[in-house]
Structure 1
Amino acid sequence: MEQERQSENTEKSSSDPPNGPSVNDDSERDRPDGEALRLPSSMAGSGTLDRLVDTARDYARAAASDNTLKAYATDWTHFARWCRMKGAEPLPPSPELIGLYLADLASGSGPSPSQSASRPLSVSTIDRRLSGLAWNVAQRGFTLDRKNRHIATVLAGIKRKHARPPVQKEAILAEDILAMVATLPYDLRGLRDRAILLLGYAGGLRRSEIVSLDVHKDDTPDSGGWIEILEDGAVLTLNAKTGWREVEIGRGSSEQTCPVHALEQWLHFAKVDFGPVFTGVTRDGKRAQQTRLNDKHIARLIKACALKAGLRPDLPDAERVKLYSGHSLRAGLASSAEVDERYVQKQLGHASAEMTRRYQRRRDRFRVNLTKAAGL
């Protein structure tokens, strides 16, 4: 049996073209997310080794979040389609070709003469798409050198010509979050959404971190953390972008605005004692479901409550909606918490104080006056 497997592996390896692995869409080399992992052709397969290959593939898929993998898949689909329309092969990666692709994205020229021009992409989107291409190329067994002059100089020119200041989402400040939660009813759905807003604000949480919480450790395979409710507050253990971290959320000055009390109310009346903390609610609003809430619900909830609370009444509704997102909660905490900056940095899980300052919309910018310090 082992000899037969060896001969099969030899036949498969000999079918590859002489200049490198096949780039056919059906080949294992062309599959991302760990699918390309396989035994070397010189090794005989066995039940144990085959199971290890499957295990290794599972770990490879877990190297990035689902949202990141979806974005990378979209990046590769777009690039592969662009290559086909230009009569080029996406693999092996050609720095010259990728430089042309980046220029096409920045200029907004159409995919082909017969099609209308597409919208030029922002510099940040182009930079992120290049990262997605580099990841996809690596998953397929190749390397992409972003420092190659055909890529680096084109990208530098794009940034020099088209770069704009970053557009930041509006921060939801303390008075704003109070007005928003006041718009929510006290039914089951309202209790859940109130807990989401207050917990997300007080913890400076990302929307993915909110919905990934479980009641206990190891409740579900897709858990991103768990909660522990104590007398003085709650401790959230999160598997975030920067690794595992703990977020302490103290009790508020009143039950109406306390995030821990809101969380307790939701868990009690929804009868959630295992699995995901935040789940869907039946249409009649009388029973909590077992399905984990999607993180898109957080963004929709923030936008809807901001409108109902009348935030930024000087703008039309269409523009007001665009001002707010899940990051508005994190920016609100960073801008409202009047404590030492290092505590805010720890709560948000930032690796540097500079990143935290990007979230502070109304911090005292001239607390350190270098002009006077220089004698002027």
Structure 2
Amino acid sequence: MSAKAQHPKSIDDAAHDNIAVPAHVAGSGRLDRLVETARSYAEKSASENTLRAYARDWAHFSRWCRLKGTEPLPPSPEMIGLYLADLAAPSDGSPALTVSTIDRRLSGLSWNYAQRGMTLDRRNRHVAAVLAGIKREHARPPVQKAAILPQDIIAMVATLPYDLRGLRDRAILLLGYAGGLRRSEIVSLDVGKDDTPDSKGWIDLFEDGALLMLNAKTGWREVEIGRGSSDRTCPVHALEQWLHFARIEFGPIFVRTTRDGKRALPARLNDRHIARLVKKTVLDAGLRPDLPEAERLALFSGHSLRAGLASSAEVDERHVQKHLGHASAEMTRRYQRRRDRFRINLTRAAGL
């Protein structure tokens, strides 16, 4: 097997190779600088989490190919169809993947091939027919994370201490809940516009609340977060307390702290901290005591904050849709765990 097959190019290497001056165009210093600029933009075409997932997808498929005595390049619909089948019904006794994970793996392979200037035809019968059969045989209704309701978030923040780390985590939970924010949106916020290169937004504080400018999955959007009914549960007050005592005036808003929780460090928090924080405070607050601890941990995640706002805000659905940055009302309804069912009765409307 060739060295190229054994060590397929990384995503970054493939993206770099595919962005260059055309062979028939004479190179120049100015064009070379434009190539580097274009490559820099290409590297920002997807979020870091997405790129990490795609890299894992490619590494897994490449290893699978080597074990089967074949190569991942160029794309072979026949082999990819067999790969999908092995994911759904593993021949080595390992656990089968869910349909959504298999679909995501296929998207990851398509993206990786595109970065290498190749096309994976997902409509090819060797791919499409196998995937359709897997969905028909194994598809299940989506498992949704539980929504954190108002009484839940109040109980969760009550478990946090009032040292610097507690102030930070209280601001994270309340701001994430009131803003209906994704984990990545929370940790990517800066104090001001253009404070750091990796920022995805900033916050302006006003007397009546906070205005967030977010560069999210669907593009730029504004999120208004009004002040709460008391300082104990107000997300804006919690944010102001954290910024004041952590002495943060520039750069990332949510940063790491020292082990003793008494001093803020410059490094931006990783979004995995949000998931760990939610799970820890859910356990500490004693939510869902009817379930074993493992099930409680699996039931809640960082996304539970976003679902909680959508489920609890008693306002017109259009306002919730705008607040969450959803392109359609149908997507917003997927987040509403307590949405009134059968409010519109078409059976009776049809005369039955």
Task: Provide the residue aligned with 1:14 in structure 2.
Answer: none
Q: Tell me how far apart the structure 1 counterparts of residues 344 and 41 of structure 2 sit (CA, whole Å).
A: 48
Render the CA deviation track for 1:87-117: whole Å, top value 9, x for unaligned.
Answer: 222121111111111111111222xxxxxx2
Q: 1:75 aligned to 2:51?
A: no
Task: Provide the residue aligned with 2:43 in structure 1.
Answer: 61
Judge conservation of contact 1:31–1:139 (CA < 8 Å) in 2: no
Q: Tell me how far apart the structure 2 counterparts of residues 54 and 77 of structure 1 sit (CA, whole Å).
A: 26
> Which SS does the other structure have where 1:32 is aligned?
helix
1:332-351, aligned counterparts within 5 Å? 332-351=308-327
Judge conservation of contact 1:28–1:35 (CA < 8 Å) in 2: no
Gaps of 5+ in 1: 1-21, 111-116
Task: Provide the residue aligned with 1:46 in structure 2.
Answer: 28
Task: Provide the residue aligned with 1:265 in structure 2.
Answer: 241
> Which SS does the other structure have where 2:18 is aligned?
coil
Q: In terms of Rg, which structure is larger?
A: 1
Task: Provide the residue aligned with 1:8 in structure 2.
Answer: none
1:2-151, aligned counterparts within 5 Å? 25=7, 31-110=13-92, 117-151=93-127
1:35–1:329 CA distance, 2 compared to 1 (3 A):
farther
1:164–1:26 CA distance, 2 compared to 1 (3 A):
closer
Task: Provide the residue aligned with 1:352 in structure 2.
Answer: 328
Q: Tell me how far apart the structure 1 counterparts of residues 11 and 291 of structure 2 sit (CA, whole Å).
A: 52
Task: Provide the residue aligned with 1:6 in structure 2.
Answer: none
Task: Provide the residue aligned with 1:224 in structure 2.
Answer: 200
Task: Provide the residue aligned with 2:151 in structure 1.
Answer: 175
Task: Quote the offset at 1:286 in angstroms.
Answer: 1.8
Q: Tell me how far apart the structure 1 counterparts of residues 5 and 123 of structure 2 sit (CA, whole Å).
A: 24
Q: 1:329 aligned to 2:305?
A: yes
Q: 1:363 aligned to 2:336?
A: no
Q: Which amino acid aligns with 2:66?
A: R
Task: Provide the residue aligned with 1:192 in structure 2.
Answer: 168
Task: Provide the residue aligned with 1:281 in structure 2.
Answer: 257
Q: Tell me how far apart the structure 2 counterparts of residues 263 and 29 of structure 1 sit (CA, whole Å).
A: 38
Select 2:293's aligned residue among 307, 317, 323.
317
Q: Which amino acid aligns with 2:48?
A: D
Q: 1:166 aligned to 2:142?
A: yes
Task: Provide the residue aligned with 1:307 in structure 2.
Answer: 283
What is the aligned length?
Answer: 349
Task: Provide the residue aligned with 1:113 in structure 2.
Answer: none
Q: Which amino acid aligns with 1:46?
A: S
Task: Quote the offset at 1:362 in angstroms.
Answer: 1.0
Q: Which amino acid aligns with 1:309?
A: A
Q: 1:242 aligned to 2:224?
A: no
> Which SS does the other structure have where 1:226 is aligned?
strand
Q: Tell me how far apart the structure 1 counterparts of residues 10 and 155 of structure 2 sit (CA, whole Å).
A: 54
> Which SS does the other structure have where 2:266 is aligned?
strand
Task: Provide the residue aligned with 1:18 in structure 2.
Answer: none
Q: Tell me how far apart the structure 2 counterparts of residues 288 and 273 of structure 1 sit (CA, whole Å).
A: 12
Render the CA deviation track for 1:57-104: whole Å, top value 9, x for unaligned.
Answer: 111000001111111111111111111111222121111111111111
Q: Tell me how far apart the structure 1 counterparts of residues 50 and 275 of structure 2 sit (CA, whole Å).
A: 18
Q: Tell me how far apart the structure 1 counterparts of residues 66 and 47 of structure 2 sit (CA, whole Å).
A: 29
Task: Quote the offset at 1:328 in angstroms.
Answer: 0.2
Q: Tell me how far apart the structure 2 counterparts of residues 264 and 78 of structure 1 sit (CA, whole Å).
A: 45
Judge conservation of contact 1:35–1:57 (CA < 8 Å) in 2: no
Q: Which amino acid aligns with 2:103?
A: D
Q: Which amino acid aligns with 1:65?
A: S
Judge conservation of contact 1:229–1:235 (CA < 8 Å) in 2: yes
Task: Provide the residue aligned with 2:128 in structure 1.
Answer: 152
Higher relative contact order (CA 8 A, sep 6+): 2
Judge conservation of contact 1:215–1:277 (CA < 8 Å) in 2: yes
Task: Quote the offset at 1:45 in angstroms.
Answer: 3.4
Task: Quote the offset at 1:28 in angstroms.
Answer: 9.2
Q: Tell me how far apart the structure 2 counterparts of residues 173 and 33 of structure 1 sit (CA, whole Å).
A: 43
